[in-house]
Amino acid sequence: MAFVDRLGEILSEGGQGGIILTSIDALADWSRGKSLWAMPMGTACCAMELIAASFAKFDFDRHGSFPRPDPRHTDVMVVAGTITRKMAPAVKRLYEQMPEPKWVIAMGNCAVSGGIFFYDSYSVIRGVDEFLPVDVYIAGCPPRPESLQDAVLRLRELISTESIAPGVKHERTLSLPRSGDVSFGVRPGSAEEGDAE
């Protein structure tokens, strides 16, 4: 314990500057949503928008989201396109290969509900939520790349409410704070919020 107490002093003496001490779960909760590597499960025309989102014009990488076609390296599966009854076991198997924690974005009408194939189709799954736990739904046929980026930002908000500590759930709203909002920059449970109540 004595060493930990003197850690800052020791590092300062070494010319390395100060250090920040925090609990591991708070650091993990803060950092977890910042680098969502995406598994591009593109099966139809939505995959074109998925590809466009990660190229220079829309630049997915600035949100920390990076397409990585390997389920073992990814955090979020973007199901972009029509899933047929024959394809569904393969999608489920890829999802099971992703390490925890993992999330799913259903991109486009086909992944949300079956889309234009909802009626009179013998082969199309009516929404990937029949066999995957979907976190964010994006409507559109196909959605714009901006919609996908907005979905990733929403997913980051969702992830920021979760904690790796058991039984702990951060109370944060799911809407993105804007600079004009009265609550912008106010942390939940802080003094200002307590005064307002």
Long-range contact list for 59-62, CB < 8 A, 24+ apart?
60/145, 60/148, 60/149, 60/152
Options 8, 44, 52, 121; binder of another protein; rule CB under 8 A: 121
Alpha-carbon distance 51 to 2, whole Å? 53
Residue 133 preceded by cis peptide, ω within 30? no
184 binds another protein (CB under 8 A): no
Instruction: Look up residue 140 and give its DSSP letter.
Output: S
118 binds another protein (CB under 8 A): yes
Nearest alpha-carbon partner for 106 in 58, 63, 43, 53: 43
62 binds another protein (CB under 8 A): no
Angle at the Cα of 46 from the Cα atoms of 74 and 177, rounded to 5 degrees? 65
Site for another protein in 72-91 (CB under 8 A): 85-86
Minimum distance from residue 180 beta carbon to another protein (Å): 43
Longest dimension (CA), the chain: 74
Minimum distance from residue 74 beta carbon to another protein (Å): 28
Number of residues that bind another protein (CB under 8 A): 9
Stretch of 1-9, 95-103, 120-128, 159-167 lying at the interface with another protein (CB under 8 A): 120-128
Minimum distance from residue 125 beta carbon to another protein (Å): 10
126 binds another protein (CB under 8 A): yes
Minimum distance from residue 120 beta carbon to another protein (Å): 5
Contact residues: another protein, CB under 8 A: 85-86, 118-123, 126
